[in-house]
Chains A and B, each alone.
Chain A
């Protein structure tokens, strides 16, 4: 399935929510993201930044414990994409993000937004399975050529989900609200898990 099909499917799912200008813009975004990634450093527009924050908060919302936005996950995601990812991932991240923009994500209500993310999740799952198979096939050291080919970046959903979880569960507020944080265990023991016991974090 190509990117445009994905957008069309999202549109169908949302009951044809795309306007004519949006559909026209779809003809251009691919070129636009291409130019962006090859040219300047990774950066987000303010609406893209808002979308990233909203998605992060949908992944880990504020409940009786802080949400993604409370602990600074949105800025963390942008920094990580900028500092730690190669061009392939920066590109796939931007492509996914532009695609979400095309759905007029910020105009959707919460349940529609969740619908978009669920759709993305299913799409991503299929892609991740295909990648996994490629990585675990019997390597005879003869598929080096295959590996050298420019790798396609991890899909947007996989990236934003991982970075949201990483940013949240390694933040001071996130760790302390979620886990039993032990900086210096001092011993190593097999124990029995108590009912409702939180995981240890170290």
Chain B
């Protein structure tokens, strides 16, 4: 093969990070701050903070379809549409065109993607909870999947480190089930929620807290240094925050990495495969396809971090074939692409609340109340394994209560200008067990427009999830009843598939044994140690808490290890 030496030199960095989202951003920040030159490769278009948040300051009447999705957009975003009104004119430009980026569903999989700078960190729910000690131990204790190669104590300092940088508003509760972190001031619970909290403690001994959310309730010096300001309580985070008040890769990690002047970013560039050197037995770089011109280019580095999002990271490993790795890089165990987990949701209850009619709220809380897991915890024992948490909250009804209410005319119109009664709703986020039969793989025949094999999903909820869902609905109704709420309605959306939680994970799991896992305790590919996977693919179990803060903690820990190992010339 002809090699242009000069081009190779220009295309060589200390580290390559594939993906610019939640973990790619954090990897780039950590590696550059520790002195490495980093090339970050993003497959999608470039978004600049904050000037590309086109809709951020629009008033309601300036949004043509007022939050609804046009039929045209719904067709282009056929997978996104399953989540709901995500791809409307407020936030739609932060979601991927599914028609141009199709995937194959052997069994239905709701794959919600975000191909642009910042990835899904642009519109995540921002809920930030640590895994607890049991989350790391349950697999081994119950004989499910494989054991995590790390424990809570290994990650705890990195949680603190990430929480500080990101800025998490939350209340310390001293609970084993939901370990406290390093928090900014908590947002308030509303009057009926405080009543609910009291009742749950009295009747069930179940704690209720306000959500732990990555919005700056009180920015610290290191936040303002990056241009981030306090939350304005507009709750329009999905549009991109012009104040940088909620954490995204774009408002936090990437600006921090840019301060080092060691970050180079490449956009519209799809990493098609990892280049493996058979002699040196390590990865040397990546092969990249420009998504517009389809031109192919190679880039080289001493270490490579894969942060493309769990499904794309696994696809990239599977597509990186060599003599040594004929089934895909790091796939000796045949576990790459398997054990897809997520959090199952779309199940819970709603109710109306009598009274509290002189209680109201100024501002919009970009946050929820949180009910930590109480199932299979302490003395509770269920027929299914693991548990779930609830997220939701109370609010006073607005004008839209008129849609389903009787009446029309002048008095009806006048009445809708006043706050309506309080209502409450919360839905569960349930743990999904790892199951090797839940998998994605590359189609042997069909390729996308860039010639890369298409991803096939073959996964579904198992008996444990289905049993848990029934309890999630019933327990929510029971709690609302115990709080004295009325018109209680449970729901358990039957059309929910794996993926809809947008917490897809597990496709290159960490473990102790190379025969049953893909990554070691520091997120290195077992037999190709200069490749690190620190996005959701690395997860060995899913817990029931929102995972991003855990992914970032794993990333910071792995980056620290990688740089130390580089300095010791171990990589």
Chain A interface (Cβ < 8 Å from any Cβ of B)? 58-61, 63, 65, 79-80, 83-86, 114, 117, 121, 125, 128, 135-136, 138-144, 147, 158, 161-162, 165-167, 169-172, 175, 178-179, 182-193, 196-202
Contact = CB atoms under 8 A, between A and B. Distances in A.
B285 to A, nearest CB: 44
B362 A188 contact: yes
Nearest to B490: A136
B496 to A, nearest CB: 8
Interface in B329-370: 357-365
A172 to B, nearest CB: 4
B466 A140 contact: yes
B418 interface: yes
B417 interface: yes
Q: List the 4 closest pairs (A to B, CB-CB), nearest first.
A: A139-B494, A185-B363, A188-B363, A59-B408
Given A161-B402, A165-B400, A189-B363, 17 more contacts: A60-B412, A61-B410, A121-B406, A128-B404, A135-B491, A141-B460, A165-B416, A166-B66, A167-B66, A178-B417, A186-B233, A187-B233, A188-B363, A188-B364, A190-B188, A191-B361, A198-B417
Contacts, number: 164
Given A84-B70, A183-B59, A188-B187, A178 B416 contact: yes
B171 interface: no
Nearest to B497: A141
B446 interface: no
Contacts of A136: 489-492
B1 interface: no
B61 A171 contact: yes
Contact of B398 (A80, A196, A197, A199): A199
Given A188-B188, A202-B234, A138 B61 contact: no
Which of A58, A65, A117, A193 has the largest number of chain B CB atoms within 10 A?
A193
B409 interface: yes
A193 B362 contact: no
B363 A61 contact: no
A137 B187 CA distance: 35
A175 B398 CA distance: 12
A167 B399 CA distance: 11
Contacts of B491: 135-136
29 contacts: A58-B409, A59-B412, A61-B409, A80-B65, A80-B68, A84-B71, A86-B71, A136-B490, A136-B492, A138-B473, A139-B495, A141-B461, A144-B494, A144-B495, A165-B402, A169-B400, A170-B66, A172-B59, A175-B61, A185-B232, A185-B364, A186-B232, A188-B362, A189-B361, A190-B361, A192-B359, A197-B419, A198-B418, A201-B398
Chain B, interface size: which category?
35 or more
B175 interface: no
Contacts of A135: 491, 493
A192 B408 contact: no
Interface of B: 59-61, 65-66, 68-72, 74, 187-188, 190-191, 231-235, 357-365, 396, 398-400, 402-404, 406, 408-410, 412-414, 416-419, 460-461, 466, 469-470, 473, 489-496
Contacts of A197: 360, 418-419
A44 B406 CA distance: 27
Which of A84, A167, A171, A172 has the largest number of chain B CB atoms within 10 A?
A84
Contacts of A117: 408
A141 to B, nearest CB: 6
B470 A138 contact: yes
A117 B231 CA distance: 45
Nearest to B193: A190
A201 B66 CA distance: 14
